[in-house]
Structure formats: structure tokens, C-alpha cells
Amino acid sequence: MAPRIGRQTFTLIRPFVALVLAAAVFTGCVEQGNVATPSSPAGSAAPSATPARSSASGGFYLRAWQTQALAPQYTFGWLPVATVSGGQFIDGMVAIPMIYPGPIYSGLSARSISAAGIDAIIAEARTDGLLGDKSDFNETAMPGSITAHIEIVVGGVAHDLTGSLPSGGTTSAAAPGTADAFHAFWNRISSLGIWLNADLGQSSPYSPASIAVMLTPPAQTPTDLKVQETVWPLTGTFAGFGIPMGNGGSRCATVSGSDLGKLLPVVQASNQLTRFVDSSGTKMSLQVRVLVPGDAGPCA
């Protein structure tokens, strides 16, 4: 499998990077009680590939993500590595600038995927023995290790697969229904932009219908760095945002609909040291994660 090439000043978000960043800043995550109805449509890519709805495999869905037995604040920024929904491939392998303070918003990209591309994914899953009755491929998982998850819906049947995270990048053929076959399939879909490049349209920014937002008490700021303060654009104070979790004063909620339209531009103009100020004068730091279709998010 060809490796993904990065730029000198950028790096790919990996779970252990998100873990280090989150552990330094955040202490809790909770769910908002009321969620607005989404009004922002999912981003669309250029129609250079045939829309997937023309395929006999209509209704296809796929999402691949990772979990670990840690408090949710430590894995808040773990994005699905790949999502295919509604004829789109949403790439979760995001490049971020290697600067501090960096941005708090990492936008995703989307590309249309052809019917042939979806059929190729289904054929590979069948070849690897992943569309049968077996769903647990944790044959080599160690206690406390990262778990790889794949949800794939084919012909109205959902398959929720789990296995250990591959330690290498092989996509070589393996005995169907084995951990090695699961690993090979994971490696293919996590590099889907390379594997099925001819079946994908042009890349364009993904417009999320919702985002997960975590508020935390402001972190200690280096004396030589300027701190930006921004007025909280949503109605109400931080005390009423979501539901608290833990003893650290953090709050977490999903934002969508008209509130997303108010908050997203402000978030995109902010950085890791930005302090948001509500109508009561309370100041909080913020972390944001884009939610893709089918992803309940870290606040659920």
C-alpha cells in the first residue's frame, strides 16, 4: 500500500497525538440535553464521479474509527478515519499546521464516490470474510490497546466489526474471516483516497451538519503569548451549555442548526489559547470536533 505523503509543516492527526493534546487541557465531557435541528447540508464534492445512488448497492454506509478505554476528554478529537455516506467519501485523515497556538477547528474534506467504487468496497469486504456472522476480530488485541471499529451497511444489513488496530500497512490477501483479513480491509479503507482514487471526484471542504464542542476552564497561558478573547456567540451562559461531567468544570454538547451558523465562523477564527467570554463574564477554553453522518460524537 502506498504511504500517505505529508508536508514538512503538517502532520496527520493520530490517536496518540490527540491523546497528548487533550490530556494536557481537558478534564471532562458531557452531553447537551437539547440539540437543534441541523440546517447546514453536508458538503458536496465535484460530480466528476458517478453518484453512488445509481449502484445496486444503494443505501451503502461505512465508517471506520478507533476507541480506547480512556475518559472521553482524552479521545475527544479522535475523528473517524473514513466515512462513506450519501454518495460521499469523507476523509478523516486531517493535516494540521505544526504551530502553537494552533487552530481549534480542523475541517474535513469530501469527495463523491462512484457506484463502482462502492461496489469495490463491498467486494473487498466479502472477499475478506467480513460480511458474515462473525463480528469480533480481536484475536491479537492486548489489554488497554486501541480498538478499530468498522460499521458497514450493505443491502440494509448492518455489520459492526471490531478488531485490533493494525500495526503495519499491509493490504495483502489473508485467510477470510481472520484478524489479518480485518487488518487488510482496515488498511484499504483508511487509505481509500489512494486505493479508489479513480472512483472519487474532486476534493472539496466538508460542511458539517453538527459539531461537538467541549468547554473547559482556561488553560495556563505562557506569559510571552498573547491571549485572544472572543464573545461567546450563542444564547445563554456557559453554565447552561450541555451537562457537566466530572469535577473539573468541563461541559460538552453537540451544536447544530442555527447555533452552528453562529458558532462555526467564530471557532474557525480562533486558536488553542482563545478564551470565550459569555454574558456573565465567565471565560472558557474550547475544543471542537466535526461530526460525520452516523457519528453520535464524544458527548453522547
Whole-prediction pTM = 0.79
CA dist 300 → 31, 107, 155, 193 (Å): 6, 21, 27, 29
* CA geometry: angle 61, 205, 96, nearest 5 deg: 100
- Convert the pLDDT of each residue in 222-241 to its tens digit: 777 888 899 999 999 999 99
Number of H helices, E strands in the chain: 5, 16
Q: Answer yes or no: CATH 3.30.1560 is held by domain 10-23+42-204.
A: yes
Residue ranges covered by each domain of the chain:
10-23+42-204, 208-290
Q: Is the pLDDT of residue 300 over 90?
A: no
Grid cell in block for residue 78: 479522535
| pLDDT reported for residue 139 | 78
Q: Is the pLDDT of residue 249 over 50?
A: yes
| pLDDT reported for residue 225 | 80
Q: Mean pLDDT, to the nearest integer, of 243-249?
A: 74
Q: Is the pLDDT of residue 258 over 50?
A: yes
Q: Is the pLDDT of residue 34 over 80?
A: no
Phi first, then psi, for residue 273 (nearest 5°) are -100, 0
- Convert the pLDDT of each residue in 39-93 to its tens digit: 333 333 333 333 333 344 568 999 999 999 888 788 888 999 999 999 999 999 8
Element (H, E) at 46: none
Q: Is the pLDDT of residue 111 over 90?
A: yes
| pLDDT reported for residue 219 | 76
* Rounded CA separation 212/137 (Å): 30
* Rounded CA separation 205/188 (Å): 23
Q: Mean pLDDT, to the nearest integer, of 21-27?
A: 37
